[in-house]
Amino acid sequence: MLRGRLGRRRSSRLRPATNRLGPLAGLVGQPRRLLAVAGVVAVVGLFVRLELQQAVVIGLVGGAAYGLLALGLVLIYKSSGVFNFAQAEFGTVAVYALYVLKGPLGYPLALVGALLAAVLMGLVVERLIVRPLFDSPRVTLLVATAGVALMAIGLQFWIGEAKLRRIEPALSRPDRIAVLRQNVSDQQLLLVAALLALGVLLALFFSRTNLGLAILGASQEPVATELAGISVRRLSSFTWALAALLGGVAGVLFAPISGTFGPGELTRGLLIPAFTAAVLGGMTSLPGAFVGGTLVGVAQAGAISYKGLEALPGKGTVIVFLLLITVLTLRPQGLLGSRA
Amino acid sequence: MSVLETRGCSIRFGGVQAARDVSIQVGEWEIVGIIGPNGAGKTTTFNIITGFYKPNEGTVWFRGVDVTQMAVEDRTALGMGRTFQNVGLVKGSTVRENLKTAQHLRADYATVAGMLGAPRVFRTEREMAERADILLDILELGDLADTRVAGLPYGVLKRVEVATVLATDPDVLLLDEPSSGMGPEEAHRLGDTLLDLRREFGLSIAMIEHHVPLVVRVCDYVYCLNFGELLAEGKPEEVRNHPEVVRAYLGEDPDELGAA
Amino acid sequence: MTVAGPRVDLDQAEAAAEARAAAVEAEVVEKAKAEAYEAPFKPSPIGWFFRVALAAALVALVLVFPLDRPLSDVRLFSQAAIYAIIGLSLNVLLGYTGQISLGHQAFVGIGSFTSAYLVTVQQWPFAAAVAVAMAVGGLQALVLGGVALRIRGLYFALVTLSYGTVASDSLFGITRFTGGGSGQSAPLPSFAATPHRYYYFCLLVLAVVIWVDYRMMQTKGGRALLALRENPRVASTFGIDVKAYTLFAFVVAGVFAGLGGALLAHKNEVVQAQDYNFQLALIFVIMTVVGGLRSRSGVVIGSAFFALLSSGYLIEKAKVETLFRFLADNTFIPFLSKEVAALVLGPLLLLLTLTLYPGGIGQQIRPIQRWLAGHRFNLHDRGDKEVQISDVRA
């Protein structure tokens, strides 16, 4: 009887209806997805009216970086219930690795090396921090990952010194095309393309492959998953590696857009917007992280370039904070999440 | 007039009807037992009475006052005291500190005055400690006053919990499985204690209890719940032999019993 | 056909099991009783001599040692005392109430800027400015506490982190209030115009904060916090208004932090927005956790330690820099400057505390504390075994 109950649960929970319909079909039948899309459209429309078209483009690019980090945050939260405050440091570490390796190896190989460095860090963090604290309360892990982030920043100050370094983009043409009168560089296009591609790949991974289903299963029913002969701990390593990879991709593609980077830069600039994006999307929804990243990026860029707000310093931070508070108080399950 | 009364209380959680039209009365000086199989809605009823849940329908009355919408701590101030199935104590503190914590409403000073060291606060604190020691002596726990709660055995914890609830100065005691974790002998002694408490403190008591001999010995009236509904009520012997009650406990369909 | 009966007497087995359980329980209770009855241990005169000597040495270290130190060192000692106040502030939230704050640099910074602004721009007297800084600190904490009642769990940690960055990026960037990039000047008060005098003033304030904190935990407010941290439901059946006391804890923490911030501003004689970054907030959390939640002395020691570590004082005095220099010159290990050391060592200590010593410094020094208070020395007396960061309910 026990097995029967677990079995039913697995089948109903592991394959949400949207996954069976495919990644895009979910947009149609579900009002809350329509709501999210309508929200994005409304924001874009509002911006065009306020003559902030360029902010939309800047925001979409920035939002792609948030989205990539948010995918990693969601992945880790979904699989182990941990808020990973070290997620952005996966990106910074990758950028440092890229910086060091691009001389001897050349840019393309260095990119691979950088992503490997991020994955390695993800595995180390999982093995040394997450696994020993596997059974402790989630808040312990939260503080621990915050400690990891601070340590990574400390190591960057130690080894890399407190100075800004130059990093050139992978693709160097600056003004490839103009979108809504905003020039977009190759690197920015690459970042957006990476988000789209990885988003679709992840959606397929979690709906079509056994490994993806196993990860979802482990998050819902760790005991049942172990009984089914799947090692939850191995899955945990895999998820952290995957999340670190996503963080690394965000880092190596985003940092060259501004052209310089320094210790802890991505944590300072990306972590909170990325978390906000994930929360907007409901914290457990991969498409939600995607949409949330876009929304946060566009809202932030809009606030920064809006004429009426010029007197206020740190507008970008304030708007993210307001978004976070608003979502958590009015719709804690996020735009795409379902009510718990 | 009854001290405590629920009138037609119902509550739903999502699609689950956890309680339906539950009406219970606890009269002055009565000891009322609430029995029923696991998942019958006994603790849910307690949670409605003490205010953790607000019923979808129905009302809760305390000495003629409608307390349905009242906050938990205000009901405590009126004189409801309750224990928990898994021991409601501050485990990091000592036994005496727990009894002092429970006298929160007796401490008629402002915390800020205490932080600045007003002399009256020291006096009140001393009185509270003395009152705690008296209660502990009554329940034969005096020797454990300075012991931390965390290490104590379960049966002792249950007694400490009763002492702690008495420290809140209740009119009505709501006990959630007071004899769990006790052997037959201890349970018998608990029965004596309850009868003593009623006599000494003038208490009314409602208790959720599985231990049938205890219920039969001390209770004046018994309610039996099943699947969130009242199945039977009456004198303990009547309820025990009620055919519906017998069936609810033994179950016709073992599968159904397992599901509950 | 005969039905096979049970091959053992089940009643007898049950009775035996019950007797065993009862015996074990009785033993535990007897042990506790025996401890209660045991004649209280009284140290011999020689024992007292050693205890008083150690206590005197500790007091001398704090009071006498700084006398002939250079001014720059004394400023750091002031900072240690101020960090201890901040640590106690955070302890009220993390330790007593079980609420997390990753934005404590905002709590502190608001106090700093309020006091600096009032003294420098509005020409207020020092005491009045500090009082207002405490009030403002309490007020902003009250607002955040209101948010904490609505947003629970890990999400609230996120809100505090975001709130902290809003403060450092936006609030502290308002030039009229904070003096812009060059910062707002905050002179030493006239009654403590030298770093030495200011140091003793900070110690005095710290002593008052410790006293207030101690008194709080001896009164109904403190007990209410401990109860609602462990179990809000049980607390409310004790008659405790859980929401009101959660807000109360935020206000107390905010007032302490505002006070610490004001003292910090006048110690540095200038307040600059870029000093109140999120690394600082994490250092605050780390020093409190490593110090040991709910252990007053542990938190004070942990905070002072991190103040001296992050300012580079400890690294300098321990002559570790020579070692770092040697390593940097002879191996591939780069030079670890004293400014960066706290960022590397702090998280390391945090992770060690979380994984191996959840009670922090407070638990480690407990045997010494008990001994000083006139008990037998017992190396294994670690007291409250459950003390750990997991107490934070998030």
Q: In chain A, which among 45-104 make CB contacts under 8 A with chain C?
A: 83, 85
Give contacts of C37 with chain B, Cβ < 8 Å: 143
As a whole number of angstroms, the distance between CA C289 and CA C303 comes to 10
The neighbouring-strand residues paired with B148 are: B94
Per-residue CA distances from C328 to A263, C312, C332, C337 (Å): 20, 18, 7, 11
Least confident of B36-40, B129-133, B229-233, C72-76: B36-40
Question: CB–CB of C230 and B91 under 8 A?
Answer: yes
Looking at every residue in chain C, the average pLDDT score rounds to 86
Query: Nearest chain A Cα to C161, which residue?
Result: A272
Q: Which of C94, C277, C268 is nearest to C173 (CA)?
A: C277
Give the three-class secondary structure for B144. Answer: helix
If one counts every other C-beta atom within 10 angstroms of the C-beta of residue A33, the result is: 19
Question: Is residue A81 scored above 80 in pLDDT?
Answer: yes
Selecting from C150, C163, C285 the residue whose C-beta is nearest the C-beta of A321 gives: C163
Q: What are B127's strand-pairing partners? A: none
Find chains touching chain C: ≥3 CB pairs under 8 Å: A, B
CA distance C110 to C118: 12
**What is the C-alpha to C-alpha distance for residues C334 and C324, in angstroms, rounded to an integer?**
8
Sorting pLDDT into bands at 50, 70 and 90, what band is A32?
Answer: low
Q: Please indicate whether, in this complex, the C-beta atoms of C220 and B115 are within 8 angstroms of each other.
A: no
* C277-292 residue pLDDT tens: 888 999 999 999 999 8
Q: Taking the domain C69-311+357-391, which CATH number applies?
A: 1.10.3470
SS (H, E, C) chain A: CHHHHHHHHHHHHHCCHHHHHCCCCHHHHCHHHHHHHHHHHHHHHHHHHCCCHHHHHHHHHHHHHHHHHHHHHHHHHHHHCCCCCCHHHHHHHHHHHHHHHHHHHCHHHHHHHHHHHHHHHHHHHHHHHHCCCCCCCHHHHHHHHHHHHHHHHHHHHHHHCCCCEECCCCCCCCCCEEECCEEECHHHHHHHHHHHHHHHHHHHHHHHCHHHHHHHHHHHCHHHHHHCCCCHHHHHHHHHHHHHHHHHHHHHHHHHHHCEECCCHHHHHHHHHHHHHHHHCCCCCHHHHHHHHHHHHHHHHHHHHCHHHCCCCCHHHHHHHHHHHHHHHHCCCCCCCCCC
- What 3-state class would DSSP assign to B9? strand
Which parts of C126-241 fold into alpha helices (H)?
126-150, 154-169, 175-178, 195-218, 220-230, 232-237
Helices (H), B107-233: 111-116, 119-138, 154-167, 184-201, 212-218
Secondary structure letter of residue C273 according to DSSP: G
Residue A294 CA to residue B80 CA, distance in Å, equals 53
Closest-CA residue of C relative to A282 is C155
Contacts of B158 in chain C (CB under 8 A): none
3-state SS, residue C301: helix
Nearest chain A residue (CA) to C98: A139
At A308-327, the pLDDT tens digits run 766 778 888 899 999 999 98
SS3 B26: strand
Distance CA A155, CA A25 (A): 46
Spans of all domains in chain B: 1-79+170-260, 88-169
Domain count, chain A: 1
For C350, which residue in chain A has the nearest alpha carbon? A147
| CA-wise closest residue to C166 among A323, A59, A88 | A323
| pLDDT value, residue C376 | 80
CB atoms within 10 A of CB C246: 23
Lowest mean pLDDT among A132-136, B119-123, C115-119: A132-136
CB atoms within 10 A of CB B44: 21
**What is the count of residue pairs from A and C with beta carbons less than 8 Å apart?**
141
Mutate to test the interface with B, among C234, C294, C295 (most CBs of B within 10 A): C234
d(CA C363, CA C383): 7
Considering only the top CATH level, what class is B1-79+170-260? alpha beta
Q: What pLDDT, in 10s, does the model give residues A294-307?
A: 889 988 888 888 77
Residue-wise over B186-202: b if at least 16 C-beta within 10 A, else e? bbbbbbebbeebbeeee
Q: Which value does ipTM take for this structure?
A: 0.90
Interface touch C169/A329, C-beta < 8 Å = no
The average pLDDT across A28-48 equals 69
- What would the pLDDT profile of B97-128 be if each residue is shown by its tens digit? 999 999 999 988 988 998 988 899 999 999 99
Q: Which residue range(s) make up the domain with A58? A: 34-330
What per-residue confidence (pLDDT) applies to A187? 83
Per-residue pLDDT at A274 exceeds 50:
yes
* pLDDT attached to residue C258: 97
Size of interface B-C (CB pairs under 8 A): 130
Is residue C135 very low, low, confident or very high in pLDDT (cuts 50, 70, 90)?
A: very high
Calpha distance C273→C182 (Å, rounded)? 9
Per-residue pLDDT at A161: 75
Which among B198, B247, B236 has a CA at the least distance from the CA of B214?
B236
Q: Which residues of B touch C95 (CB under 8 A)?
A: none
* Per-residue buried b or exposed e for A67-86, using 16+ beta carbons within 10 Å of the residue's own CB: bbbbbbbbbbbbbbebbbbb
Residue B12, classed as helix, strand or coil, is: strand
Contact C285, A146 (CB under 8 A): yes
Q: What is the mean pLDDT of chain B?
A: 89
Distance from CA of B256 to the nearest CA of C (A): 27
User: Do the beta carbons of residue B236 and residue B36 sit within 8 Å?
Assistant: no
Dihedral sign for Cα B97, B103, B108, B112, please: positive
Whether B81 has its CB under 8 Å from any CB of chain C: the answer is: yes
**CA-based angle A144:A146:A148, to the nearest 5?**
70
Residue B130: C-alpha distances to residues A157, B79, B123, B136, B142 (Å): 58, 21, 11, 10, 11
d(CA A278, CA C187): 45
pLDDT band at C310 (very low <50, low <70, confident <90, very high): confident
- Cβ-based neighbour number of residue A116 at 10 Å: 16
Domain B1-79+170-260 and domain B88-169, same fold? Reply is: yes
Q: What residues contact C292, with CB distance under 8 A and at least 6 apart?
A: C298, C299, C302, C359, C360, C361, C362, C363, C364, C387
Name the most confidently modeled range: A290-299, B37-46, C81-90: C81-90
The strand pairing partners of B205, in sequence order, are B31, B173
For C227, which of B71, B101, B168 is closest by C-beta distance? B101
Amino acid at C181: G
Share of chain B above pLDDT 70, in %: 95
Using a 10 angstrom Cβ sphere, with 0-12 exposed, 13-18 middle and 19 or more buried, the burial of residue C335 is middle
> Which residue do the tokens 């049938």 mark?
B212
* Total residues belonging to chain A: 340
Alpha-carbon span A23 to A212, nearest angstrom: 15
Residues B51-60 have a mean pLDDT of 94
**pLDDT tens digits, residue range C5-21?**
555 666 676 677 777 77
Per-residue pLDDT tens over the stretch C213-263 = 999 999 999 999 999 998 999 999 999 999 999 999 999 999 999 999 999
Please, which pLDDT band fits residue A336 given cuts at 50, 70 and 90? low
Domain ranges of chain C: 69-311+357-391
Give the CA count within 13 Å in the CB-facing half-sphere of C175: 6
Instruction: Specify the residue for token string 């000083």.
Output: C372
Question: What's the CA gap between A279 and A276, in Å, rounded?
Answer: 5
pLDDT at B175 over 70: yes
Model confidence pLDDT, tens digit, residues A244-265: 999 999 999 888 888 888 888 8
Residue A110 sits in a domain whose CATH number is 1.10.3470
The pLDDT, as a whole number, for residue A168 is 80
C interface mutation test: which of B111, B126, B159, B162 has the most C CBs within 10 A?
B111
Give the rounded distance of the alpha carbon of C209 from its chain centre: 12
Reply yes or no on whether the pLDDT at A3 is more than 60: no
Query: B139 by DSSP, 3-state: which?
Result: coil
Query: Is position A336 within any domain?
Result: no
Closest listed residue to residue A275, CA positions, set C189, C112, C162, C206: C162
| In-domain check, residue A48 | yes
What pairs with residue B31 in β-bridges?
A: B205
Q: Is the pLDDT of residue B197 over 70?
A: yes
For residue B32 the two structure tokens come to 């009322």
Q: Supply the pLDDT for residue B242.
A: 87
pLDDT band at A266 (very low <50, low <70, confident <90, very high): confident
Distance, in Å, from the CA atom of B208 to the CA atom of C321, rounded to the nearest integer, reads 68
Chain B residues touching C32 at Cβ < 8 A: 143-144, 147, 151-152
- Chain B contact for C11 (CB, 8 A cutoff): no
Candidate from A268-272, B49-53, B151-155, C52-56 with smallest mean pLDDT: B151-155
What share of residues in chain B are helix, strand, coil (percent, to 5)? 45, 25, 30
CATH of B88-169, one of 1.10.620.20, 3.40.50.300, 3.40.50.150, 3.30.420.40: 3.40.50.300
